[in-house]
Amino acid sequence: MRKRLTKFVLIILLLLAAIWLYKHPDWLSSFKNLFSSKHLEIENTAIIVKEINALAQLVTITSYNEVVIEEIINGAPIFNNPAIPTILSVPNLRYGDRKLVLIGKGRVLAGIDLTKLTHKEVFIKDDSISVTLPKAQILQTIINPSDYDTFEETGNWSDEETRAVKVKLRDKLINTVLKEHILEKAEAKAKLVMESFIGTVGFKKVTVLSAP
Amino acid sequence: MFFKRKGCYLLGLLLLAGCGKKELPIEKVLALQQMSGLATVEYVVTKIIKANDNEAWYKFGDRKILMSCKATLTAGIDLSAVKANQVNIDGKAISLTLPHSKLLAINIKPEDIVAEYEEVDVLRQPFTSEERNALAVQAENQIKASIGELGILQTAETNASLFVNNFLHHLGYETISINFDNLTLPNN
């Protein structure tokens, strides 16, 4: 009789617990959060202006590209002295290889630096003007932290090593866009922009040339 | 017997699939955009990135990092937005309305983010490159959010006005007036 009563009470208690959990579903999730890893957040530190530089760059082309870089560093031998494995008759063991594969979505800005344009490059006669623009160049290559995606990372990569891989990725991006003839396109567009602007400010015959 | 053989094949296939090398993602050329932005100012700003991973109760030992970050912000105007109806010419006098300035680029170069200090206790994992990058992303967002307070857009307009003024002076104009909608910067 007592056994049956205990069983009955247990069933009632279980039922009550189930109803309570059904009514308070957030309690379960908060218990789950007890061990969940928290997102690491940085402190809101001050932003300090170090330099203010005046520019006169005409940006005429932006090339958006996605580049991938794979860097593998072979593991170093466990024994510093190569004679040790032979003496101990053990294989020459090495630490595991380290691999880092990064994807970078970057953009390259190309155009001309108008600070190089001096009065020697401007020739005016009545309502005609001839301007010789400086050569187009890559003005900025931008791959910000939010533009990187770590595809694979094995082993410990120091800050310096990671930075070197990111610099390689940026160089690869520059080489990629140079193959797309970005400078020629930037020069052609710069001529159009300058022709249009100079035409707007009152000149009837505008000739814009590129520096040889 | 048949199932045994089939099972072996399946196991073999599974093992082969498991040993497969992770394929590298395909590189893409996303777009080539023509523009006509006249960059007139760059601000070089710095920020210290501080993070302390000791918040959770079950983590024993310190794990903190201090990084320095430098960003270059570039702002300027869109030169193609200057239309003929925004220009008035009267002999050697000219007045024109330039468009308001905008931020053209934020550039945080890889060599400008440096981990200056790291303290990781024995029981904790060292910071991975992905984690360091995630912290830098937060710094980038904080810099983006502070653009309004830096006054870069006002400086860009002042510099644009100076540049256009000098350029028009080279072209032979003597009285030049440059406007930015409500803001007027007359020059002689």
pLDDT (average), residues B120-127 = 87
What is chain A's mean pLDDT, rounded? 89
Residue A18 CB neighbours (<10 A):
10
Which pLDDT score, from 0 to 100, does residue A37 have?
A: 58
Percent of chain A with pLDDT over 70: 93
Nearest to B30 among A51, A66, A70 (CB): A66
pLDDT in tens, A104-158: 999 999 999 999 988 888 999 888 999 999 999 999 999 999 999 999 999 999 9
Decide if pLDDT at B26 tops 80: no
Whether residue A144 and residue B108 make contact (CB cut-off 8 A), yes or no, is yes
Chain A nearest C-alpha distance from B100 (Å): 16
Residue A16 CB neighbours (<10 A):
10
For chain B, domain boundaries: 33-187
pLDDT in tens, B70-108: 999 999 999 888 888 888 999 889 999 999 999 999 999
Count of residues making up chain B: 188
Q: Which residue of B has its CA nearest to A130?
A: B171
Nearest to A140 among B80, B105, B170 (CB): B105
Q: A99: buried, middle or exposed (CB in 10 Å: 19+, 13-18, 0-12)?
A: middle
For tokens 């945080």, what's the residue?
A: B108
Is pLDDT larger for residue B127 or for residue B33? Answer: B127
User: Strands A122-125 and A148-154, how do they pair?
Assistant: unpaired
- Of the candidates B73, B71, B70, the one whose C-alpha atom is nearest the C-alpha of residue B39 is B73
Q: Which residue of A has its CA nearest to B112?
A: A163
Which pLDDT score, from 0 to 100, does residue B188 have?
A: 42
- Of the candidates A40, A62, A36, A4, the one whose C-alpha atom is nearest the C-alpha of residue B37 is A62
pLDDT band of B187, cuts 50, 70, 90: very low
DSSP string, B9-77: HHHHHHHHHHHPPPPPPPPEEEEEEEEEEEEEEEEEEEEEEEEE---STT--S-EEEEEEEEEEEEEEE
Measured between alpha carbons, how far is B135 from B140 in angstroms, rounded to an integer?
Answer: 9
Q: Which residue of B has its CA nearest to A68?
A: B27
Decide if pLDDT at B9 tops 60: no
Chain A touched by B45 (CB under 8 Å): yes
Whether residue A58 and residue B37 make contact (CB cut-off 8 A), yes or no, is yes
Percent of chain B with pLDDT over 70: 77
Token pair recorded at residue A34:
């007890």
Q: Which residue of B has its CA nearest to A38?
A: B56
pLDDT (average), residues A187-193 = 94
Residues 6 or more apart whose CB falls under 8 angstroms from that of B57 comprise none
Nearest to A163 among B41, B111, B173 (CB): B111
Decide if pLDDT at B6 tops 80: no
Whether residue B171 and residue A198 make contact (CB cut-off 8 A), yes or no, is yes
Decide if pLDDT at B22 tops 70: no
CB B78 within 8 A of CB B33: no
Partners of A166 on chain B (C-beta within 8 Å) are 110
A97: which DSSP letter?
Answer: P
Partners of B171 on chain A (C-beta within 8 Å) are 122, 124, 129, 198, 201, 203
Token pair recorded at residue B29:
């050329």
Measured between alpha carbons, how far is B164 from A10 in angstroms, rounded to an integer?
Answer: 86
pLDDT (average), residues A185-203 = 92
pLDDT in tens, A27-79: 665 655 555 556 789 999 999 999 999 999 999 999 999 999 999 998 888 88
Which pLDDT score, from 0 to 100, does residue A146 have?
A: 97
pLDDT (average), residues A91-96 = 81
